[in-house]
Chain A
Amino acid sequence: MSDDFAIDVQGMTKRFGSLTAVDHVDLAVRAGEICGFLGPNGSGKTTFIRMLCGLLRAEEGRGTCLGYDVIRASETIKQHVGYMTQRFSFWEDLSIAENLDFVARMYFVKERRRAVRETLERLGLAERRNQLAGQLSGGWKQRLALAACMIHQPKLLLLDEPTAGVDPKARREFWEEIHRLAAQGLTFLIATHYMDEAERCHRLAFILRGRLLAQGSVADVVGQARLTTWSVAGPDLLTLAARLQRDPAVEQAVAFGNLLHVSGPDAAALERALAPFHTPPYKWRQVESGLEDVFIHFMSRAEGESS
Chain B
Amino acid sequence: MKSILPSQSRPNVRFAEVHRAFSCRRFWAIVVKEFIQMRRDRLTFMMMISMPLMQLVLFGYAINSDPRHLPTGVLLADRGPQARTLLHALRNSSYLTFVREFRTEEEARAAIARGTVQFLVHIPESFTRDLLRGQRPAVLLEVDATDPGAVGNAVSAARTLLNRAIERDLQGPLAFPPAGPDPIDLRVHALYNPEGLTRYNIVPGLMGVVLTMTMIMITGLGITRERERGTMENLLSMPARPAEVLIGKIIPYILLGYIQVGLILGAAYGLFQVPMVGSLALLLTAGLVFILAHLAIGITFSTLAKNQLQAVQMAYFFFLPSIMLSGFMFPFRGMPRWAQCIGEVLPLTHFLRIVRGILLKGNGLAAIWRELWPIAVFAAVALVIGVKRYRRTLD
Q: Which residues of A contact B (CB under 8 A)?
A: 53-57, 75, 78-79, 81, 83, 85, 87-92, 103, 106-107
Contact = CB atoms under 8 A, between A and B. Distances in A.
Contacts of A75: 239, 241
Interface string B367-395: 00000000000000000000000000011
A106 B233 contact: no
Given A55-B394, A56-B395, A83 B237 contact: yes
Contacts of B7: none
Contacts of B116: none
The bracket for how many chain B residues form the interface is 10 to 19
Contacts of A57: 395
In terms of DSSP, what is the predominant structure of the interface of chain A?
A: loop
Given A55-B394, A56-B395, A57-B395, A85 B234 contact: yes
A89 B239 contact: no
Contacts of B6: none
Contacts of B394: 55-56
A135 B231 CA distance: 16
B230 A55 contact: no
The 4 closest A-B pairs by CB, nearest first: A89-B234, A83-B237, A78-B239, A89-B230
A88 B233 CA distance: 10
**Residue of B233, B234, B240, B241 with most partner-chain A CB within 10 A:** B234
A87 B226 CA distance: 13
Interface string B230-274: 110110111111000000000000000000000000000000000
A248 to B, nearest CB: 14
Contacts of A103: 238
A85 B237 CA distance: 9
B238 A89 contact: no
B229 interface: yes
Contact of A89 (B229, B241, B395): B229
Interface string B165-193: 00000000000000000000000000000
A92 B238 contact: no
19 contacts: A54-B237, A55-B237, A55-B394, A56-B394, A75-B241, A78-B237, A78-B238, A78-B239, A83-B234, A85-B233, A85-B234, A87-B230, A89-B229, A89-B234, A92-B229, A103-B238, A106-B238, A106-B239, A106-B240
Given A89-B229, A89-B231, 18 more contacts: A53-B237, A55-B233, A55-B236, A55-B237, A55-B394, A57-B395, A78-B237, A83-B237, A85-B230, A85-B233, A85-B234, A85-B237, A89-B233, A89-B234, A90-B231, A103-B238, A107-B238, A107-B239
Contacts of B236: 55
A3 B230 CA distance: 36
A157 to B, nearest CB: 12
Interface string B44-66: 00000000000000000000000
B238 A90 contact: no
Contacts of A78: 237-239
Given A78-B239, A106-B239, A90 B395 contact: no
Nearest to A82: B237
Nearest to B394: A55
Contacts of B395: 56-57
A108 B394 CA distance: 23
A103 B234 CA distance: 10
A92 B228 CA distance: 12
A83 B239 CA distance: 11
B307 to A, nearest CB: 15
B225 to A, nearest CB: 9
A92 B394 CA distance: 22
A87 B230 CA distance: 7
**Residue of B231, B240, B241, B394 with most partner-chain A CB within 10 A:** B231
**Residue of A56, A79, A106 with most partner-chain B CB within 10 A:** A106
A98 to B, nearest CB: 13
Contacts of B240: 106
A53 B233 CA distance: 11
Contacts of A107: 238-239
A57 B237 CA distance: 12
B245 to A, nearest CB: 10
A54 B229 CA distance: 20
A55 B395 CA distance: 7
A79 B239 contact: yes
Contacts of A81: 237
Contacts of B238: 78, 103, 106-107
Contacts of A85: 230, 233-234, 237
A83 B240 CA distance: 14
A135 to B, nearest CB: 15
